[in-house]
Chains A and B, each alone.
Chain A
Amino acid sequence: MLAKPVPDTTGQERLGPDFRVDRAASPAVVNANDDYALEAALKLRETAGEGSVTLLAMAPATAPDTLRKALAMGADSGVLVTDDALAGSDTLSTARVLAAALGKLDYDMVLAGADTSDGGTGTIGAGIAALLGLPYLSYAARIVPGGGRVRVHRISPTGFDVLDSPLPALIVATQALGEPRYPSLKGIMAARSKTIQVWSLADLGLDPATVGGATSTTRVLRTQAPPPRAATRVVRGPADAAAAELVTFLAERRLI
Chain B
Amino acid sequence: MTAPGPTAAFRLTDEQRDLRDAVRVLARERVAPRAAEIDRTAEFPWDLKELLASQDILGLPYPVEYGGLGADLLTTCLAIEALSAACATTGLIVAVHELAALPIVMAGTADQKTRWLPDLAAGRKLVAFALTEAGAGSDAGAIATRAVRDGDDYVIDGSKRFISQGSVADLVTVFAVTDPGGKRHRNLSCFVVETDRPGFSVGRLEHKMGIRGSPTAELLFDGVRVPASNLLGREGEGFSLAMRTFERSRPGIAAQAVGIAQGALDVAARYANERVQFGKPIADFQMIQAMLADMDAQTEAARALLYTACAAIEAGDGDAGRWAAVCKLVAGDTAMRVTTDAVQVLGGYGYVDDFPVERMMRDAKITQLYEGTQQIQRLVVARSLLAARR
- Cβ–Cβ contact A184 & B19, under 8 A: no
A182/B69 contact (C-beta < 8 A), A188-B19, A189-B15, A192-B15 known: no
In the docked arrangement, what's the CA distance between A68 and B60, Å?
A: 20
Q: Spell out A's residues near B (CB within 8 Å).
A: 68, 72, 182-189, 192
Contact A188 B26 (CB under 8 A): no
Q: Which of the segments B51-59, B207-215, B252-260 contacts the partner chain? A: B51-59
Please determine whether A182 and B26 come into contact, CB atoms closer than 8 angstroms: yes
| CB-contact partner of A182 in B14, B15, B22, B60, under 8 A | B22
CB distance from B75 to the nearest CB of A (A): 9
Rank and list the top 4 A-B pairs by shortest CB-CB distance, nearest first.
A185-B56, A186-B56, A184-B56, A184-B55
Within 8 A of A (CB), among B62-79: 69
7 new A-B contacts, CB < 8 A, other than A182-B26, A185-B55, A189-B19, are A68-B18, A72-B22, A182-B22, A183-B22, A185-B57, A187-B56, A188-B18
A185 in contact with B19 (CB, 8 Å): yes
Q: Which residues of B contact A185 (CB under 8 A)?
A: 19, 22-23, 55-57, 59-60, 69
Kindly list chain A residues whose C-beta atoms are within 8 Å of the C-beta of B15: 188-189, 192
B22 surroundings in chain A (CB, below 8 A): 72, 182-183, 185, 188
Residues in chain A near residue B18, CB distance under 8 A: 68, 72, 188
Residue of B nearest to A183 (CB): B22
B 189-227 binary contact with A (CB < 8 Å = 1; else 0): 000000000000000000000000000000000000000
Highest count of chain A CB atoms <10 Å: which of B22, B26, B57: B22
A189 vs B15: C-alpha distance when bound (angstroms): 7
A253 CA / B385 CA spacing, docked (Å):
77
Name the A residues within 8 Å of B25 (CB-CB). 182
Expressed in whole angstroms, the Cα–Cα distance for A183 and B69 within the complex equals 14
| A176 CA / B5 CA spacing, docked (Å) | 50
Q: Check B54 against A184 for contact (C-beta < 8 Å).
A: yes
B156 CB to closest chain A CB, in angstroms?
Answer: 36
The answer to whether A182 and B55 touch across the interface, beta carbons within 8 angstroms, is yes
Q: Shortest Cβ distance from B63 into chain A, in angstroms?
A: 14
B78 to chain A, nearest CB (A): 11
